[in-house]
Amino acid sequence: MRLLIGVTGGIAAYKALELVRLATRAGHQVRVIQTPTSERFVGTAAFAAITGAPVLASEFEADPARGGYPGDAAADWVPISHLALVERADVYLIAPASANTLAKLAVGIADNLVTTAALAADCPLLLAPAMNNRMFLHPATQANVATLRARGVCVLEPASGALASRGEAGIGRLPEPAELLAAVETAHRETDSSWEGLRVLVSAGGTREPIDPVRYIGNHSSGRMGYAVAAAARRRGAQVTLLSANVTLPTPAGAEVIRVGTAAEMLVAAERVFPAADVLVMTAAVADFRPARPAAHKLKKTTVPLTEIALEPTTDILARLASQRRPGQTLVGFAAEHGAGAVAYGADKLERKGLDLVVVNDVSRSDIGFDSAENEVTLITATGAETVTKASKAAIAETILDTIVALRRGTAPAAPAVLSAGVADGGPGGVA
Ligand code: PMT
């Protein structure tokens, strides 16, 4: 997402630094503009260092990046800074928004870069007020907030607690940077039309490979991760086909579900749907081996020692589909790895299977991954790796979809790489 952040004068301006750091780390392209008063609290150099882009504090200043966001090509002319920056933004957030700025915005005053950009904004505009509680609760400020909300501006509720002035407490604190980022991402999703009409194929659950008619080799996948991805993609407007292996969860509204049992059945269904898909997300735990000769009748425990069940490899569905990919398709694989080295093994899968994104989860932990409500993942792309801390599978799914959007736009995060080359096949996670 191209995120424009306006910083106005207030002690909470220092928290905007953390917000910018989080947004940049999450892969968003961030530009910052400041009011002259805000520079008394935090200088432009700090924001510029974090965003890797120039920070403007005057509408008369030429933008050295010519309206470009990090990773964008700059215009080949000199645009009017505040207009170019806000025109390209997906979301404009003013944080902190002082009482003075709220008042100006309520009556349409445009006397600095931050307020001028707000007046020119076509994208969602979010304001995060931060000020003393008496200032916030003053009828004038409350009337300004009401006016702005009535006009469709999203004015976030300040938090309560200790305030900057010694001994004072009450409403008026800037919400925590992570909450601000979540609000911005939600606003962006609500207006993001990039999923409209996109065909998304998601696999979920765990395959079961028969030993005989009543026994199988299976795994603990509940299907929650895949169902969360499918539901999130549907919410964003995509056409979703869900290959569901032995999952008992309710079907995500609007998704087409194809139920399969074994790896072989999943392969057949996947090869049928994949050619028309724009995005593939393989969350399913597909068996790597299956009994070579499943018995036609239930085996008697007296007659067959377990050592006689011979196994044969299944087809690697993801690798097979990757070998058939056409331009415009985005391929996402998961990697269920154990403990140390998980990220390096995931990076190996990215390269070996020819994927755009690998989502690594450490399945040695019982609180995430298989059959749990939450997950913690590392997202690996060709440009780097980013860890998403423990969160609900629904939240993880949203982050995966945000990364897919960035990949399809060619703006995937250039996070610091933590990948190590030369991982041998057959490491702790196997070669799947
Ligand atoms: O379903 P949940 O309870 O919510 O649990 C989620 C999960 C732990 C199953 C999920 O987060 C996860 O890690 N899924 C991948 C499990 C897995 O099989 O990982 P793998 O490292 O063995 O396989 C790597 C990739 O190859 C996966 O995308 C897998 O779908 C794919 N694969 C594997 C084997 C095979 N024969 N064909 C494949 O396509």
Cβ-Cβ contacts under 8 Å for 44 (sequence gap 6 or more): 32, 34, 55, 56, 57
Nearest-CA residue for atom 37 of ligand 1? 316
Express each pLDDT in 353-376 by its tens digit. Answer: 999 999 999 999 999 999 999 999
Per-residue model confidence (pLDDT) at position 429: 33
- Bigger pLDDT: 395 vs 96: 96
- The CATH superfamily assigned to 199-409 is CoaB-like (3.40.50.10300)
> Could you give the angle at the alpha carbon of 85 between the alpha carbons of 61 and 401, nearest 5°?
150
Ligand 1 atom with the shortest distance to the CA of 315: 36
User: If you average pLDDT over residues 88-104, what whole number do you get?
Assistant: 96
- Domains 2-191 and 199-409 belong to one CATH topology: yes
Collapsing DSSP to helix, strand or coil, 26 comes out as coil
Ligand 1 centroid – CA 296 distance (Å) = 28
- Give the pLDDT confidence score for residue 264 in this predicted structure: 98
Cα of 419 to ligand 1 centre, how many Å? 20
Residue 266 beta carbon below 6 angstroms from any ligand 1 atom = no
Task: Among 229, 279, 286, 388, name the best residue to mutate to test ligand 1's pocket (greatest count of ligand atoms within 8 A of Cβ).
Answer: 286
Positive or negative torsion for Cα 60, 63, 64, 66: negative
State the pLDDT confidence band at 409, using cuts at 50, 70 and 90: confident
Distance 297 CA to ligand 1 centre (A): 30
- Please tell me the predicted confidence (pLDDT) of residue 419: 40
The verdict on whether 219 is a catalytic residue reads yes
Q: Which residue has the higher pLDDT, 191 or 11?
A: 11
- Helix 177-191 to helix 13-25 angle (10° resolution) is 50
Q: Confidence class of residue 306 from pLDDT cuts 50, 70 and 90?
A: low
Q: Kindly report the CA angle at 377 between 371 and 381, in degrees rounded to 5?
A: 135
Quote the radius of gyration of the chain (alpha carbons, Å).
Answer: 25
Helix (H, G, I), strand (E, B) or coil at 303: coil
The helix or strand, by DSSP H or E, that contains position 380, with its residue range, turns out to be strand 374-381
pLDDT at res. 412: 60
Class of domain 2-191: alpha beta
Q: Where are the domains of the chain?
A: 2-191, 199-409
Instruction: Kindly report the pTM of this predicted structure.
Output: 0.74
- pLDDT tens digits along 206-228: 999 999 999 999 999 999 999 99
pLDDT of amino acid 422? 31
Give the pLDDT band (50/70/90) at residue 304. Answer: low
pLDDT per position as a tens digit, 41-55: 999 999 999 999 999
Separation between Cα atoms, residue 405 and residue 409, nearest integer Å: 6
Please name the residue whose Cα sits nearest to atom 11 of ligand 1. 369
Residue 252 has pLDDT above 60, yes or no: yes
* C-beta of 124 in contact with ligand 1 (< 6 A): no
Q: Give the distance (Å) from ligand 1 centre to CA of residue 260.
A: 15
Of 100, 144, 219, 375, catalytic: 219
